[in-house]
Structure 1
Amino acid sequence: MRQFSPAFDAHLKSGATSLCNCWLLTLRNEQQLGFTDHDQQIAFDGHVFEPKAGFQPSAMTDKRNEAVDTAEVLGFVDDERLTEQMLRAGLLANAQVDWWWVNWRKPEERHLMRRDYIGEIKQVDNRFEAELRSHHAKLNQKRGRIYQRHCDAQFGDGRCGIDANSASFSGTVTVTAIAEDGTITVTGLEARAEGWASKGTMHWQSGAYKNDRVSIAQHARTSGEDVLTLSHIKPELIEVGDMARVIIGCDKQFSTCRDKFNNSANFQGFPHIPGDDFVLRYPRPGDDLSGGVLFK
């Protein structure tokens, strides 16, 4: 059972309520957008909730087991903060949605109904439907470690141990061109070898993707210019002049960790784990069957 504050509970029991819904979207790049189905602007907790986007909630389900609660919210892309390009670029994917019931006459009387995450988004013309998934959805995500040959650490994190922000492993780039195929041309990598940033990370410092991180699939050099192919991102919101911090690429191989970074002691994989063909092997003359160390 929900526990409302005394003031909000008294308002609900008054018989004449003045309630509205308010949503606060927190995008992956930490940008926050407030919307309400009321016809006037509402503000609380330092956030302003605008009525212009025409949000409308659907029926929602609450389950009493480990199943994922779901709901939907409908809206129209008629707010300069929420554009069709943002939807296509995926900036709303996995965004956090805080959903309040608010007494619009006294916004201090409110209750946080749900905290969800945006799943599937459907768009038809100038209208969109966003599926809201409860925090139970995170129970379906991988937790813990997987025994595999490749390293499962993020380059530069505490388990890796390397300072990814040092001048040796990172650099600032500026976008100079965006091609039709989605690749971007940047300056700032002239002193690096071709392929230096392949499988690396780009941390945006300005532009629509500010504070967001994206993987770099390939770093090529064409006619003296550095061209980056980005993974899981659409270039529609990237503009010439946007800046980002680029971190060197790591392919998660043990040989790369040992030879390129001299960091084999911190390798977070199992490079010598037997493969699927191990069960098909049989003893052969000359095999070392002493039970000693096989790899040094």
Structure 2
Amino acid sequence: MVTTMALCWRLERRDGVTIGLTAHDRDLAIDGLVYRAAPGMTPSAIVRSASLEADTMDATGALSAQAIGEEDLLAGRWDGAAVTVFATDWQAPGPGVVLGEGTIGAVETRGGMLTAELRGAAAALERPVVEETSAECRAELGDRRCRVAMAERRRFARVVAVDGAVVTLDASESVANGWGGGRLRWFGGANSGLEDSVVRSEGVRATLRRPPRFDGVGALVEIGEGCDKAIATCAGRFANAANFRGEPYLPGIDLLTRYPGG
């Protein structure tokens, strides 16, 4: 039985793209998904424990344009992708025995080789369990805590020009710096499926946090209004102070260092 075992990887990107890879020397079809042969794909030692420590594993293999390309990795398409590693009998391929599950963490590329860290479900326990106080709102504009209706605050536009991180659209913002703090989603061209944060906007121009990964001229995008997370903006622009998720008037640590007349 051991001599007929083959390792398989199922990877599901956040945009819905799913691929399968196997360490076997030929493709395997399992539950409607073809696991492409990638004999050079090898995992590090898989350690599973009952403790609360995060389970991690590294997978190393050759980069392939047909599967996981370097450009897609650097563009962030595989960030946070769900991964399942399992062993199956290549003579009768099936779901097999699950060896590890998690998401893709740190990724390193060197000399045409890919090394990806797989972080298990227990890694979520490393995050803070409660929120810290903050003067700014901790909700995202339009989410279930903010509750601002976004249907009329998003629009589709076409990219007219790209100059570094500045994107010019064929549509203008509705209010001054209205897109600042918002998100721009690409629906066409080489950037399709990617998102970018908008730092600020002016008229038809939006400045992104970083330049587009690929050429975006002529591509269709969706851009939505943003928020600077200040109580004044929440109350004045969105009339939503009742749902503000911050403590703008809570004294800070500097209160301890104040002195009379300071």
TM-score in same-fold range (> 0.5):
yes
Q: Which residue of 2 aligns with 1:178?
A: 162
Matches within 5 A, 1:1-296: 15=1, 17-52=3-38, 54-108=40-94, 110-166=96-152, 169-179=153-163, 181-188=164-171, 190=172, 192-207=174-189, 210-221=192-203, 225-230=204-209, 235-237=212-214, 239-280=216-257
**What's the TM-score, normalizing by structure 2?**
0.87
CA RMSD of aligned residues (A): 2.5
Q: What secondary structure sits across from 1:139 in the alignment?
A: helix
For 1:69 and 1:80, locate their aligned partners in 2 and report how far apart those are by CA, in whole Å.
29
Structure 1 residue 208: Cα displacement: 5.2
Distance in structure 2 (CA, Å) of the matches to 1:240 and 1:19: 48
**Whole-Å separation in 1 of the counterparts to 2:28 and 2:102:** 21
Aligned residues of 2:134 and 2:247 also touching (Cα < 8 A): yes
Match of 1:219, SS state, is strand
Alpha-carbon displacement from aligned partner over 1:229-251 (angstroms, at most 9, x marks no partner): 135xx622453333232110101
Distance in 2 (alpha carbons) for counterparts of 1:90 and 1:108:
31
TM-score, scaled to structure 1:
0.78
Q: Structure 1 CA distance, aligned partners of 2:162 and 2:40?
A: 33
Shift of 1:283: 8.2
Give per-residue Cα distances to partners, 1:257-276, cap 9 Å, x unaligned.
01111111111111111122
The structural deviation recorded for 1:212 is: 4.6
SS of residue paired to 2:213: helix
Q: 1:130 and 1:109 mapped to 2: Cα distance? A: 23
Q: Distance in 2 between matches of 1:261 and 1:107?
A: 55
In structure 2, what is the Cα distance between the partners aligned to 1:171 and 1:28? 22
Aligned equivalents of 2:120, 2:4: Cα separation in 1:
27
- The answer as to whether partners of 2:63 and 2:113 remain within 8 angstroms in 1 is yes
CA contact (8 A) 2:46 2:99 kept: no
Once the 2 structures are TM-superposed, how far is the Cα of residue 217 of structure 1 from its aligned partner?
A: 1.7
Same amino acid, percent of matched pairs: 28
Q: How many residues are treated as equivalent by the alignment? A: 261
Given that residues 23 and 97 in structure 1 are in contact (C-alpha distance below 8 angstroms), is that contact kept between their aligned partners in structure 2? yes
- Unmatched tracts of structure 2, length 5 or more: none
Q: Distance in 1 between matches of 2:191 and 2:7?
A: 28
Q: Structure 2: how far apart are the matches of 1:245 and 1:191?
A: 12
Instruction: Determine the C-alpha separation between the residues in 2 that align with 1:238 and 1:165.
Output: 28
Unaligned runs of 5+ in 1: 1-14, 285-296
User: In structure 2, do the counterparts of structure 1 residues 143 and 29 end up closer, same or farther at CA, with 3 Å as the change threshold?
Assistant: farther
Shift of 1:193: 4.3
Q: Could you tell me how far apart the structure 2 residues matched to 1:25 and 1:17 are?
A: 25
Task: Label 1:79 to 1:38 Cα distance change in 2 as closer, same or farther (>3 A).
Answer: farther
Work out the CA distance in 2 between the residues paired with 1:177 and 1:80: 30
Q: Is the 8 A contact 2:103 2:119 kept in 1?
A: yes
